[in-house]
Structure 1
Amino acid sequence: MSIESLTIDLGLISILLLIGIVLRAKVKLLQKLFIPASFIAGILGLIFGPNGLGLLPFSELISDYPTILIAVVFAAIPIGAAKVNWKEKFTKIRNMWFYSMTLTLLMWPAGLLVTYLILEHIWTLPTGFGFALGAGFLGGHGTAAAVGEVFNAQGWEEITDIGYTAATVGLLAAVVGGLAIIKRNTRRKQTSFLAEFDDLPDDLRTGLIKKEDRASSGTDTVSSSTVDPLFFHAAIIGGVVLVSYYLQQQLTDWFPDLSFPLLSLAFIMGLIAQLALRKSKADYYVDKRVVTRVGGTATDLIVVFGITSINLAIVADYAVPLILMFVFGVIWAYAIFHFIAPRVFHQNWFENGIFGFGWSTGTVAMGVALLRIVDPDSESTTLDDYALGYTGMVPVEVAIITFGPLLIISGLGLPFMIGLFVIWIVLMLGCARAGWLVPKGTLRKRFK
């Protein structure tokens, strides 16, 4: 890749994102559906890019960007994390941790379930076809790229496009399905903070925040006379990703038959970097809000590049089984929301549950978007609980992303799927026995 290609790719993506922001701010339909600007930009890139009309001169490497960008997202997760007194916080975050584990252990094998039971008996499908559902819905475009990286090493390159398609459909399902759920449950008085859906503030609809409602994105922790504070934080994450990349190359040389996803190594290196920062007292100069902004920027770019790079010809080859798998995935995600969320959360079950629905279909970003609709003033503790609970769940997610494809390629996909379900059942029974779940009397009152 030349510097000119990189400049053109980033420039075109920037223009598409700006167009997406303007369209969201001006087009009523997009406002009613709360379509993210990154999704709009990605669709425009798909239509006018090399896989569509061919009017936008993207390079041939646009499908490779998400692999690096998702490493940025995972490297940023541990950086700047505050110390947590788990003994004090455990009671508060335990149920969110269990719900996060539920989404992880049930959504990842969902595609494998419908593939093994139905789809592969009708169509001839590549190994790992069903794994794309969890990668796209729960993980998003970046995770789909990471999973595709492992399968690509084994000669199946189509999985990346199928994963990107799953992530794109998942975003749309999160928006449309999430809004339908919110409208229905608002009428049923299930929401804690939202009385009428039509009374939502304009900034949520247009995406533009009024001056009096604006908040800071972070605090300067180093003097700009030394280095710009934003670059200081980006440099830490960039260093972690670079070390992870060279570690990946070394591990590949040592174990040529194995594949090591860059995002998994980036998360591990991020943990090590955070420990080093804390030991040296340098974490005092790391602002988690700025780190989050860097990760958020990478997430938006992942969505645009991922959608733009979808190969429609490959998607067309598997159109019918894909549609059936996606329909099953949405129903499965709704079932988790409808049957499990009310039994897990003692307070604000709907707010926590709709966040989980958005996450399980359209990634965490869509979960946050749906949560802001039902809890515009952040009166619930959903995101705080999630941030702490996620710390205990992410190693499981990283393990699934790292070893899941290898097990499937080795012919152990069925035991892998069953194993995840068994772990969840044991976890569910343990939580019920420990008294974590909502009593039956309270549950009946919720659904009167």
Structure 2
Amino acid sequence: MFKLLDVFFAFVMLGILILIARFIKHKVKLFQTLYLPESIIAGAIALLLGPGVFGAIAMATGTAENAYLAGGLFPETMREVWSQSPGVFINIVFAALFLGETIPNPKDIWRKTAPQVAFGQTLAWGQYVIGIALAILVLVPLFNVSPISGALIEIAFEGGHGTAAGMSETLTQLNFAEGGDLALGLATVGIVSGILFGTALAHWGRQKGYLQTEPTPVRSGDAQFQETAPIEDHRFLQRKARLMRNLLIDPLSLNFGFTGLAIVIGWLILQVLTWIESISWGRGGFELIGAVPLFPMTLIGGIIIQLVMKRLGLECLIERRLQERIAGVALDVVVITALASINLTVLGANLGVFLILSIAGIVWNVLAFIYLAPRILPVYWFERGIGDMGQSMGVTATGILLIRMVDAENRTGAFESFAYKQLFFEPIVGGGLFTAAAPALILQFGSGSILLLTTGLLIFWLVFGLINCQRTKKQMAREAQSSYAETSIVR
């Protein structure tokens, strides 16, 4: 067991590792070119200086003087704090996801971003189909691994390091302890390959002329978002100042309180669902909620708080920028401690599984972008599609980075469509409810049943995307023809 002082110094060391990572990134041009986050560099440093690499080298020398270095440069209590941190801090990341966000009318958002949702969902369910099919045909019979391995591509690639770390405890409870290390390794492959392939595809798109230089005017359907981020008007600022006047509290502390409240609400939701399961379907031995982690529920908790505060006219107390800072620090902690805690022995023992899933995930995402994005996204398919491809291979930040590479001035509205798509995306996959439940579902119903389910969902979103794209293009053509006719009459 560790003491509070051990926790304190464990997080002090994380801060020092981030500073070292920042210095290294400043000096190494390759890391700058790859846009590697400092948190990943810091986590890699911690991994190299831990028992898996430095400690193993020290033990390999066989000298008694080096025996005390078997655990690496970090004490055991510090490594124990780090090993428990990912599953805790991921709850903060998801709780803050929608706090301070403007949540518009879902019907209006759906009308504008439906093609983006269809493409993102196609990528996600395709990862399940490919992963589970590989598990049935190759991984389980040849490598004797758990059938849950079929869900690892989506957990790691679509969910990223945060989701992979958050699911580690759940995978252990489901007798797939090595799944956490495999997921974290796959998440690292995903984010690096996402940036590498994304950069190469951006160059390819410029050469082929797929990038739009001027926005296409669209008045309905899948349209460019004309509105910009909401600007705080004078009355909003006055109300905010009045509410904050008598509060002797730092705004960051106040916003962290809202984040904590979202986590509590998420915990209460999970407890209620667990109780309902215990008195209903759980009596027959079917247990699902017990394998669902807390973090997707905290996301729902954050949405509830945002809607309630909006209804009470107090939404100005929640500052989006501060919530982003809170989530950013928590995500850095998740990534660094998760990478530092990877068991390289487990990863090496499952190298075949790791390589097969890595290659399959990369190939699916890249080919889906090249061949499906132009057929699902009716306008600015390259700018919008590359953002989803980046997200599906790493994290949301990777998608945003790739959008900025191809549309730095946001002429196409790709960023807004990408952002609003999350309202219909994050609660389900990419760390949402299905991501959390998939391992338990595979064990409960079998890989074949879940393969049929995910294949059906993949076909649904693919067909919907194709039909919606054609319908939107026809509508755009009619509008263009009508606009041309009106202009001719005026002339």
Report the TM range for the smaller structure's normalisation.
0.7 to 0.9
Q: Structure 2: which amino acid aligns with 1:51?
A: G
The residue number in structure 2 matching 1:56 is 74
The CA distance in 1 between the partners of 2:471 and 2:52, in whole Å, is 48
Query: Cα distance, 1:434 vs. partner?
Result: 4.2
Residue type of the alignment partner of 2:370: H
Q: Residue 383 of structure 2 aligns with which residue?
A: 351
Specify the code of the residue in structure 2 equivalent to 1:417.
Answer: L
Contact 1:342–1:438 under 8 Å retained in 2: no
Equivalent residue for 2:119? 99
* CA distances 1:96-135 after superposition (whole Å, capped 9, x unpaired): 1212222222223432222222232322112311212211
Alignment of 1:78-89 (within 5 A): 78-89=98-109
8 Å CA contact retained: 1:68, 1:262: no
Q: Partner letter of residue 29 of structure 1?
A: L
Matched, 1:240 2:262: yes
Which residue of 363, 368, 371 maps to 1:331?
363
The equivalent position to 1:340 in structure 2, one of 358, 372, 382, is: 372
Question: Cα distance 1:245–1:2, how it changes in 2: closer, same or farther (>3 A)?
Answer: farther
Q: Which residue, out of 135, 138, 148, partners 1:115?
A: 135
RMSD of aligned residue pairs (Cα, Å): 2.7
Query: How far, CA to CA, are the matches of 1:374 and 1:433 in structure 2?
Result: 27
1:142 to 156, 162, 180: 162
2:424 is the alignment partner of 1:428: no
The secondary structure found in structure 1 opposite 2:147 is coil
Q: How many residues get paired?
A: 418
CA contact (8 A) 2:136 2:447 kept: no
> In the alignment, is the contact (CA less than 8 A) between 1:344 and 1:438 conserved in 2?
no
Deviations 1:50-88 (A, max 9, x none): 433211333313232222222112211232231413454
More divergent stretch after superposition (38-47 vs 3-12): 3-12
Over residues 353-381 of structure 1, what are the superposed CA-to-partner deviations in whole Å (9 max), with x where a residue is unaligned?
A: 22112111112121112222222233332
Q: CA deviation at 1:46?
A: 0.8
In structure 1, the partner of 2:488 is none
* Residue of structure 2 in register with 1:69 after alignment: 89
After TM superposition, the structure 1 = structure 2 runs for residues 183-332 of structure 1, keeping only pairs within 5 Å, are: 183-192=203-212, 222=244, 226-245=248-267, 248=270, 255=278, 257=287, 258-332=290-364
Structure 2: distance between partners of 1:323 and 1:86: 40
Aligned match of 1:399: 433
1:244 aligned partner, one-letter code:
G
Match among 361, 367, 388 for residue 393 of structure 2: 361
**TM-score (norm: length of structure 1):** 0.85
Note if contact 1:75-1:266 (Cα within 8 Å) is conserved in structure 2: yes
8 Å Cα contact 1:133/1:326 also seen in 2: yes
Give the AA of the match of 1:130: G
Q: Which moved more, 1:294-303 or 1:231-240?
A: 294-303
Comparing 249-258 with 136-145, greater Cα deviation is found at 249-258
1:224 Cα deviation (Å)? Answer: 9.2
In structure 2, the CA distance between the partners of 1:83 and 1:168, relative to structure 1 (3 Å rule), is closer
CA–CA separation in structure 2 for the residues paired with 1:223 and 1:20: 40
Counterpart of 1:190 in 2: which secondary structure? coil
Give the secondary structure class of the aligned counterpart of 1:347: coil
Change (3 A) 1:430 1:350: closer
CA contact (8 A) 2:136 2:147 kept: no
TM-score with structure 2 setting the length:
0.78
Cα pair 1:144 1:163 within 8 Å, conserved: yes
- Select 1:172's aligned residue among 176, 189, 192: 192
Following the alignment from structure 1 to structure 2, what is the Cα–Cα distance between the partners of residues 76 and 417?
32
Q: Is the 8 A contact 1:108 1:138 kept in 2?
A: no
In the alignment, is the contact (CA less than 8 A) between 1:136 and 1:144 conserved in 2? yes
Which SS does the other structure have where 1:108 is aligned?
helix
Classify 1:227/1:429 alpha carbon distance in 2 versus 1 (closer, same or farther; 3 Å).
same
Unmatched tracts of structure 2, length 5 or more:
55-71, 215-236, 477-491
Q: SS of 2:425's equivalent?
A: helix
1-structure distance, mates of 2:121, 2:73: 44
Q: Unaligned 5+ residue runs, structure 1? A: 195-218, 443-448
SS class of match (1:118): helix
Alpha-carbon distance, 1:345 to partner: 2.0
**Shift, 1:37, TM fit:** 1.3
In 1, are the aligned partners of 2:174 and 2:440 still within 8 Å (CA)? no
Percent sequence identity over aligned pairs: 26
- Whether the aligned pair in 2 keeps the contact of 1:51 and 1:311 (CA below 8 Å) is yes
CA distance, structure 2, for counterparts of residue 2 and residue 193 of structure 1: 58
